């Protein structure tokens, strides 16, 4: 490690001000990514602004047809919350499949989506559920938030404060994961709302994306058979030691069918 200034603000305004006054500051959420990156000297910030003391960024609130989750809420808290289990069980199920207990008890919603790892789980939920990301400056739709590999629509110094998840009629998340890291080789989140069906894929490409062909087919006929004739193009998908692009294209269809079956059965996902 190397020398840097550690900031421990107690409220949102102080956190934003600390970042503004730093030469090259980074926000610290759960630390599951940033600590490793700093050890490898892939990032060398002048200041680390620890958000653990900013209580306004924590918590889960049930509103009118939506669930609002604070950016510093841990994966474990999302997975264990009874209201999320009741209203959007696919979201609590997704959180419970992230990493291992250590990661789930340290990692946070805001840290995960700000990092935008291509194999992270939450981006699929935000896009499929048409979530809204709130920052200290503005609101950003889930559809426009994730822009590319490890890139988001956040401006420099912009801090995520909370995320609104609309309560949908039904949803399911199915993941084929790396057995060591538990990251998604492919994960598919299917959500059914009054506006139709949304299908979001993580792990397969540089960042999360929707599959319009599947959405249209399932809107017309919500059954696994509706996906039988849809072939996913492997062009542009990730290809690495964990799976080729063609393999990931195949897994998208597999995970989507499983998610549709889960929604149809009424089981929690």
Give the model's confidence band at 266: pLDDT under 50 very low, under 70 low, under 90 confident, else very high.
low
Give the confidence band of 255 by pLDDT, cuts at 50, 70, 90. very high
Q: What is the pLDDT of residue 82?
A: 98
Q: What is the pLDDT of residue 83?
A: 98
Do the two domains 1-54 and 171-265 of this chain adopt the same fold?
no
Q: What is the pLDDT of residues 64-88, one digit of tens each?
A: 999 999 999 999 999 999 999 999 9
With a pLDDT cut of 90, the percent of the chain lying above it is 91
φ/ψ of 132, rounded to 5, equals -120, 125
CA distance 27 to 16: 9
User: For the chain, which residues make up each domain, given as ranges?
Assistant: 1-54, 171-265
Q: In degrees rounded to 5, what are phi and psi of residue 5?
A: -90, 130
Tokens 């139709």 — which residue?
196
pLDDT tens digits along 113-167:
999 999 999 999 999 999 999 999 999 999 999 999 999 999 999 999 999 999 9
The CATH number of 1-54 is 3.30.43.10
**What's the number of CA atoms in the CB half-sphere (13 Å) around residue 202?**
28
pLDDT of residue 32: 85
At 160 the pLDDT is 98
What's the chain's average pLDDT?
A: 95
% of the chain beyond a pLDDT of 70 = 98
**Confidence check: pLDDT of 265 > 80:** no
pLDDT digits (tens, 9 = 90+) for 173-182: 999 999 999 9
Question: Which residue has tokens 């110094």?
Answer: 157
Structure token digits, residue 69: 């989750």
- From the number of C-beta atoms within 10 Å of its C-beta (0-12, 13-18, 19+), residue 241 rates as exposed
Q: What is the model's pLDDT at position 267?
A: 60
Amino acid 2: pLDDT: 76
Give the β-pairing of 47-50 and 25-28: parallel
> Would the pLDDT of 264 be above 90?
no
For the stretch 82-115, pLDDT in tens is 999 999 999 999 999 999 999 999 999 999 999 9
Of the CATH numbers 3.30.420.10, 3.40.50.1390, 3.30.390.50, 1.10.3720.10, which one belongs to the domain with range 171-265?
3.30.390.50
> 1 pLDDT exceeds 90?
no
Cα dihedral 117→120→126→128 (10° resolution)? 120
User: Residue 186's pLDDT band (boundaries 50, 70, 90)?
Assistant: very high
Q: What is the pTM of this model?
A: 0.95
The pLDDT of residue 155 is 97
């Amino acid at each position: 490690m190397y020398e840097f200034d550690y900031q421990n603000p107690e409220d949102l305004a102080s956190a934003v001000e600390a970042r503004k006054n730093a030469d090259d500051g980074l926000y610290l959420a759960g630390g599951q990514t940033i600590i490793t990156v700093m050890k490898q000297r892939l990032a060398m910030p002048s200041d680390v602004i620890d958000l653990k003391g900013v209580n306004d960024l924590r918590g889960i609130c049930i509103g009118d047809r939506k669930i609002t989750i604070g950016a510093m809420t841990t994966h474990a808290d999302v997975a264990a919350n009874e209201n999320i289990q009741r209203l959007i069980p696919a979201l609590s199920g997704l959180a419970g499949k992230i990493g291992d207990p250590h990661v789930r008890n340290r990692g946070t919603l805001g840290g995960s989506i700000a990092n935008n790892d291509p194999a992270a789980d939450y981006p699929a939920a935000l896009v499929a559920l048409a979530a809204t990301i709130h920052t200290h400056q503005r609101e950003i739709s889930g559809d426009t938030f994730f822009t590319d590999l490890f890139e988001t629509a956040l401006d420099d110094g912009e801090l995520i404060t909370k995320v609104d998840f609309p309560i949908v009629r039904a949803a399911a998340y199915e993941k084929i994961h790396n057995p060591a890291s538990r990251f998604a080789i492919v994960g598919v989140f299917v959500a059914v709302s009054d506006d139709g069906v949304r299908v979001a894929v993580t792990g397969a490409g540089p960042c999360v994306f929707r599959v319009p062909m599947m959405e249209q087919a399932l809107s017309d006929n919500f059954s696994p058979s509706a996906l039988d004739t849809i072939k996913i193009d492997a062009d542009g998908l990730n290809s690495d030691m964990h799976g080729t692009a063609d393999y990931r294209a195949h897994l998208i269809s597999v995970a989507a069918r499983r998610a549709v079956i889960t929604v149809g059965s009424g089981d929690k996902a």
